[in-house]
């Protein structure tokens, strides 16, 4: 009897397994784009929520990569104003999670359009996974979410090179019996923020931010051990910035940022040695070679968006007092002053190549600055004046181009190109290329 019972149980188990195999496989959860909201604090940011036809977290996560690839194409999105294509385009799609998509626009939408509910987003749709083409009317985000941002600043991994709170990049080289070589650059900011947000009652109650104030300590530095390619520029400051996202220039909305830096301590230090006689005996004397300036500055920045490129145009001035000099000007002319007085102009460019997988194939940011000097300042270049510092009013150009390949959010492999000179010593860097690693933290 026992063998027969075993055969019967095995047969029942086999039949049950076959019945399971015969059942049709459950369809993958179908995503739907629900609603969108515009961030009044950042009028270039739109959030889109996503829902699914059935709640199966495991199945949703299983299909998430296909969903991400389907919605991550910027060409699949259009920004409409009153039903017609607007001047703003979508320059980046960040799939934050399976239920939230973040769109970054090339320029902020106008305050009037945001308040009147005329902004909408059109999505082209997708066949795999199936997502229907849809037009979503954008509403303003909940006013309660727009609180003044104060200390401590946010330090999360970010891919935003335009306004990080921490940006560290560098490279290191060492060998047996050789002096280690390094190159580094660092930017650290700890601002508090206050916004000029208010409720607009007509035509209906809305919440909008017309300006944002940011202020706090900042440190910026770049240096290397290369003898003829060391930028040697350090700066500790306390900038105050005003952002006006809805500024009108003609018929277009052109964001303008105003900044004033009442305290900027420019400095550079180098350890030096020289032979001196002490009691008739030659002795090596260690000393510091240093240039130091106290600077106050002001700048106006125009933000222009041409998809997929962002351009900042900067116009400003720097003035202050020379606190220390490693080399004194021995032939000053009548009315001479070594206190810095400069006109500072420049431009910043940011763009990203199409995504290769999860992240852009390459992110590029370039910066150009020209300082026109009204008073002579130090300058140092290999092959000129035997490589020693001398004073001149010649314009000082500086170019910095960074190519970044993201390996994880906030972490990049980088290729950095430098050309030109920075205060206070203006050590000239002649086409320096560095391959290294970068970490970015921000909001």
CATH number of the domain encompassing residue 73: 2.60.40.1220
Check whether residue 304 and residue 245 sit in a common domain.
yes
Label residues 113-126 b or e (16+ Cβ within 10 Å = b): bbbeebbbbbbeeb
Q: Give domain status of residue 389, yes or no.
A: yes
Check whether residue 333 and residue 202 sit in a common domain.
yes
CA 85 to CA 103: how far, in whole Å?
A: 16
Q: Kindly report the CATH number assigned to the domain that includes residue 388.
A: 2.40.160.40
Tens-of-pLDDT digits for all 443 residues of the chain?
A: 444 444 444 554 555 444 444 444 456 778 888 888 775 556 677 888 888 877 666 677 777 778 888 888 888 888 888 888 877 788 888 887 788 888 888 776 665 666 566 788 888 888 877 888 888 887 765 544 444 554 556 667 777 677 778 888 877 655 555 566 667 788 888 777 776 665 544 334 444 556 778 888 988 888 776 655 556 788 888 999 887 765 544 445 567 888 999 989 888 876 665 666 667 677 766 656 788 999 999 999 988 766 567 888 999 999 999 988 877 766 666 667 889 999 999 999 988 887 777 778 888 999 999 999 999 999 988 888 888 888 899 999 999 999 999 888 888 999 999 899 999 989 898 888 888 888 888 76
Check whether residue 88 and residue 227 sit in a common domain.
no
Label residues 163-197 b or e (16+ Cβ within 10 Å = b): ebbbbebbeeeeeeeeeeeebbbbbbbebebebeb
CA 244 to CA 249: how far, in whole Å?
A: 12
Asked whether the beta carbons of 61 and 31 are under 8 A apart, the reply is: no
Check whether residue 296 and residue 406 sit in a common domain.
yes
Which residues does 35 contact at the CB level (< 8 Å), separation at least 6? 48, 49, 136, 137, 139
Asked whether the beta carbons of 200 and 179 are under 8 A apart, the reply is: no
The H helix count followed by the E strand count for the chain is: 4, 32
Check whether residue 172 and residue 318 sit in a common domain.
yes
CA 387 to CA 94: how far, in whole Å?
A: 49
Check whether residue 218 and residue 82 sit in a common domain.
no
Q: Give domain status of residue 14, yes or no.
A: no
| Last-in-domain residue among 94, 122, 141 | 141
Question: Which SS3 state, helix, strand or coil, does residue 69 take?
Answer: helix
Check whether residue 262 and residue 348 sit in a common domain.
yes
In order of 57, 71, 90, 112, 121, the CA distances from 31 in angstroms are 12, 11, 21, 32, 17
CA 122 to CA 34: how far, in whole Å?
A: 12
Which tokens hold the place of 13?
A: 């188990």
Check whether residue 301 and residue 416 sit in a common domain.
yes
Confidence (pLDDT) at 204? 41
Q: Give domain status of residue 70, yes or no.
A: yes
Check whether residue 311 and residue 424 sit in a common domain.
yes
Q: Give domain status of residue 8, yes or no.
A: no
Check whether residue 125 and residue 159 sit in a common domain.
no
Closest-CA residue to 189 (of 107, 94, 269, 259)? 259
In order of 69, 162, 422, the CA distances from 387 in angstroms are 54, 35, 16
Asked whether the beta carbons of 421 and 427 are under 8 A apart, the reply is: yes
Closest-CA residue to 326 (of 282, 379, 374, 278)? 379
Check whether residue 161 and residue 133 sit in a common domain.
no
Domain containing 51: what range?
A: 31-141
| Last-in-domain residue among 121, 141, 161 | 141
In order of 33, 38, 211, the CA distances from 114 in angstroms are 20, 8, 15
Asked whether the beta carbons of 165 and 443 are under 8 A apart, the reply is: yes
Q: Give domain status of residue 25, yes or no.
A: no
CA 418 to CA 241: how far, in whole Å?
A: 27
Q: Is-cis flag, bond preceding 152, omega within 30?
A: yes
Which tokens hold the place of 225?
A: 């051990």
Total domains in the chain come to 2
Which tokens hold the place of 266?
A: 């420019």
Q: Give domain status of residue 10, yes or no.
A: no
Which residues does 342 contact at the CB level (< 8 Å), separation at least 6? 317, 318, 319, 371, 372, 373, 374
Q: Give domain status of residue 247, yes or no.
A: yes
| Last-in-domain residue among 141, 158, 182 | 141
Q: Give domain status of residue 12, yes or no.
A: no
Check whether residue 350 and residue 400 sit in a common domain.
yes
């Amino acid at each position: 009897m026992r063998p027969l019972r075993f055969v019967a149980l095995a047969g029942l188990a086999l039949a049950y397994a076959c019945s399971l195999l015969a059942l049709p496989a459950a369809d993958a959860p179908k995503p739907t784009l629900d609603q969108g909201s515009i961030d009044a604090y950042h009028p270039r940011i739109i959030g889109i929520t996503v829902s699914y036809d059935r709640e199966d977290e495991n199945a949703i996560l299983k299909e998430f990569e296909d969903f991400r690839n389907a919605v991550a194409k910027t060409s699949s999105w259009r920004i409409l104003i009153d039903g017609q294509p607007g001047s703003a385009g979508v320059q980046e799609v960040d799939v934050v999670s399976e239920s939230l998509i973040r769109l970054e626009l090339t320029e902020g939408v106008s305050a009037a359009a945001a308040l009147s509910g005329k902004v909408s987003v059109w999505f082209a749709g997708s066949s795999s996974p199936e997502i229907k083409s849809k037009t979503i009317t954008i509403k303003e985000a909940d006013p309660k979410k727009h609180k003044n941002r104060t200390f401590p600043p946010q330090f999360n991994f970010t891919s935003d090179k335009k306004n990080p709170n921490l940006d560290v990049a560098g490279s290191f080289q060492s060998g047996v019996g050789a002096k280690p070589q390094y190159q580094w650059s660092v930017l650290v900011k700890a601002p508090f923020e206050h916004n000029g947000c208010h409720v607009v009652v007509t035509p209906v109650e809305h919440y909008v931010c017309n300006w944002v104030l940011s202020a706090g300590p900042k440190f910026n530095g770049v240096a290397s051990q290369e003898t003829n390619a060391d930028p040697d520029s350090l700066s500790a400051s306390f900038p105050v910035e005003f952002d006006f996202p809805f500024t009108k220039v003609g018929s277009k909305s052109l964001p303008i940022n105003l900044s004033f830096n009442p305290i900027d301590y420019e400095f550079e230090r180098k350890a030096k040695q020289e032979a001196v006689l002490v009691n008739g005996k030659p002795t090596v004397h260690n000393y510091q070679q240093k240039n130091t300036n106290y600077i106050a500055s002001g700048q106006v920045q125009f933000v222009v968006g041409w998809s997929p490129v962002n351009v900042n145009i900067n116009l400003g001035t720097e003035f202050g007092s020379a606190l220390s000099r490693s080399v004194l000007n021995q032939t000053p002319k009548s009315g001479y002053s070594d206190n810095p007085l400069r006109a500072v102009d420049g431009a910043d460019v940011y763009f990203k190549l199409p995504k290769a997988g999860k992240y852009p194939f390459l992110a590029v940011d370039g910066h150009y600055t020209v300082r026109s000097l009204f008073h002579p300042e130090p300058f140092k270049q290999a092959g000129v004046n035997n490589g020693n510092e001398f004073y001149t009013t010649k314009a000082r150009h500086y170019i910095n181009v960074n190519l970044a390949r993201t390996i994880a959010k906030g972490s990049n492999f980088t290729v950095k190109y430098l050309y030109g000179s920075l205060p206070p010593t203006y050590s000239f860097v002649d086409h320096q290329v560095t391959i290294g690693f970068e970490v970015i933290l921000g909001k």
